[in-house]
Amino acid sequence: MIWGAYRWEVRKLLRQKRTLAAAAAAVLYALAFVVTLRLKSKGGLPPDIPLAGQVKQTAAVLPLALLAFATFFGAPIIASLVPGDIIASEDTNNTLKMILTRSAGRGTIYAAKVLASATYAVALVGVLLLTALVGSTIAFGIHPARLENGRLVGGLHAVGLTIGAYAAYLLPVLVLAAVALFLSTATRNAPAAIIGTVFVSLLFQGIAALPGLGGAKPYLLPDQFTAWESLFGGAGSIPRAALVCAVYAAVPALAGWLIFRRRDIAGL
């Protein structure tokens, strides 16, 4: 029954303006980068972004810049836009009392919402990647790229690495989606869940900036946003990011479930 409930959750998301607005925002964000860099005659990306110097030479680089710039605000806002609303809106519309008096249990409903939130995050990152790749391909073409370690790779290979980078970036985005889902369950208020997710993200960034954390930093959330750089010869570890993000995502998702399974459905 989870599969059926999940399909309906996705269908509901596709019918809501909020989802379409998030997708449009992702497209506009990507296109803004493409247009700006295409029109910019001098300079380019900050040098700390992998392959920054080759941004106008091959399509694989510009999408990476989007990731680097999105970490502080873009990712938490976009990642929380729908998951932050997915349970809160049921409270607002008073629809939980209808669906929870059917044969599907709370576990089924919650699992379907978790899966739908994850699907949304995957789709949104996919839209961002697709727009950025198509835009930068049109603007700059697909050409070989030289990685941070000096290895020259073909244009399509570089694009493949970029796709891998987005897959790796998805991991911490899913953590933010899980945080938003938890806040949506706990606060029953979509704006509070979205703002709260941004706050939690900034809090993680602040903690990571504290001095003396040395060995713990690779296990803090902000480092997972740059794990994709390892694909291009930079620091970081994607397997470790997967493990760390799984733990970080599981905690809010389980906490949300503990609230959801026991809560009274009494309307707002």
Partner 1 sequence: MCAHVDGWSGTGSDVGAASVRSGSALNGSPPVEVQSLRKTYGHVVAVDGVDLTVHTGDVYGYLGPNGAGKTTTLRMVLGLIRRDGGAVRLFGRDPAEGPAALAGVAGFVESPTFYPYLSGRENLELLGTLDGGCPGRWVDECLDRVGLLDRARDRVGGYSLGMRQRLGIAASLMRRPALLVLDEPANGLDPAGIRDMRQLISELPEQGVTILYSSHLLAEVEDVCNRVAILNAGRVAFEGGLDELRASFGETTRIVTPDAARTVAIAAASGIAAAKVEDDAVWIDAPTSAVDALTLALGSAGIPIRSLTRERRSLEELFFQLTENTS
153, 151, 152, 155: which is closest to 142 by C-alpha? 155
* Helix 106-140, helix 62-70: angle, nearest 10: 130
**C-alpha span between 259 and 255 (Å, rounded):** 6
Please give the structure tokens belonging to residue 53. Answer: 């110097």
Residue placing its CB nearer to partner 1 in the complex, 109 or 227: 109
Residue 21 Cβ vs partner 1, minimum distance, rounded to whole Å: 14
Of 213, 232, 236, 234, residue with least CA distance to 224? 236
The structure tokens listed for 230 are 């390892």
For the bound state, the minimum distance from the C-beta of residue 262 to partner 1, rounded and expressed in Å, comes to 7
Nearer to partner 1, 119 or 205 (CB): 119
The nearer residue to partner 1, 42 or 262, going by C-beta atoms, is 262
Q: Which is nearer to partner 1, 103 or 149 (CB)?
A: 103
**Cα–Cα distance measured from residue 9 to residue 3, given in angstroms and rounded to the nearest whole number:** 10
Nearest CB to partner 1, comparing residues 17 and 42: 17
Residues 220 and 218: their CA atoms lie apart, in Å, by 6
Contact between 112 and 29 under an 8 Å Cβ cutoff? The reply is no
At its nearest, how many Å lie between partner 1 and the CB of residue 163?
A: 33
Please answer whether residues 179 and 62 qualify as being in contact, where contact means their C-beta atoms are separated by less than 8 angstroms: no
- DSSP class of residue 103? S
Handedness of CA 174, 175, 176, 179 (dihedral sign): positive
Nearer to partner 1, 104 or 195 (CB): 104
Q: Which residues bind partner 1 (CB under 8 A)?
A: 1, 4-5, 7-8, 11-12, 15-16, 93-95, 97-106, 108-109, 262, 264-267
**Pairwise CA distance, residues 48 & 216, whole Å:** 22
Shortest CB 107 distance to partner 1, Å: 9
Nearest residue (CB) to partner 1, 52 versus 265 = 265
DSSP 235: S
Provide, rounded to whole angstroms, the least separation between the CB of residue 189 and partner 1: 18
| 106 token code pair | 């709370």
CB of 139 to partner 1, least distance (A): 37
C-alpha span between 191 and 84 (Å, rounded): 8
CB of 111 or CB of 173, closer to partner 1: 111
The minimum distance between CB 8 and partner 1, in angstroms, equals 5
Q: How far is the CB of 239 from partner 1 (least distance, A)?
A: 37
